Structure 1
Amino acid sequence: MLLHVAITIQSSKEIENFYKKILLFTVQRKFSLNKETSQKIFNTEEVVDVYLMEHQSVHFEIFVSRKKEKKLFSHVCLAYRQTNTIYEKAIKLGYETQIKRNKENNTYFIWDKSGNMFEIKGIQDQ
């Protein structure tokens, strides 16, 4: 069973602007890792704010760090009923987007300002 996915962002403004407004996640809890814990576990000596967020039983542990991570293929795939609404919100708020056109349903790709990629697929009504 997957408990959460950990993501790093560079600005806490992304919590409100991207994760809440676009992906519809809610903050369940916020805490900070002290320098000692960050060093022991993640090999970095900085105080790090961490947000635990949830939407439809998907849980993110979002770390706010000034260090930028290099990403290539890493992404999270999420399913929504109205994918075009998510996509349009991302465009309106100035986020990078791409569409992969498919015969039946398009797949949308959206990046937060820290370079985290999200693949957005539609949930088909039964």
Structure 2
Amino acid sequence: MSITQPEYTEKILERFNMKICNTHDTPMITRQVKNRNNKNKTKLDDPTDAPYREAIGSLLYLAGATRPDIAYAVNLLSRRQNNPTKGDWTESKEFSDILEEQLTWVCTIEVKPKSWKL
């Protein structure tokens, strides 16, 4: 059985204005690399009024339904829902680049019957 949701993924990317795609190898960068790259940290620590909760909720649904490969990264992003900053919103937009690149990925589930031997 194979399941995919390219239409839903497209809808998420359009709804949260995440269609601009920069290529990335992984869904998220490590904290060590992020801290090294954040030279202008004061701007990234400012609170944001972006629809962060709605975006994370949509991504959690997508991860649970058809994209288990993104579940870990989305769960990390969801930890900041109460007080999201501009840096958190930037991370979620960077994560969306992976979705854009992998729009046609399919989740395939194979079920093989077990033979019982006594």
TM-score of the pair, normalised by structure 2: 0.30
Higher normalized strand content (fraction of residues): 1
Choose 1 or 2 for highest CA Rg. 2
TM-score, normalised with respect to structure 1 = 0.29
Richer in helix (by share): 2
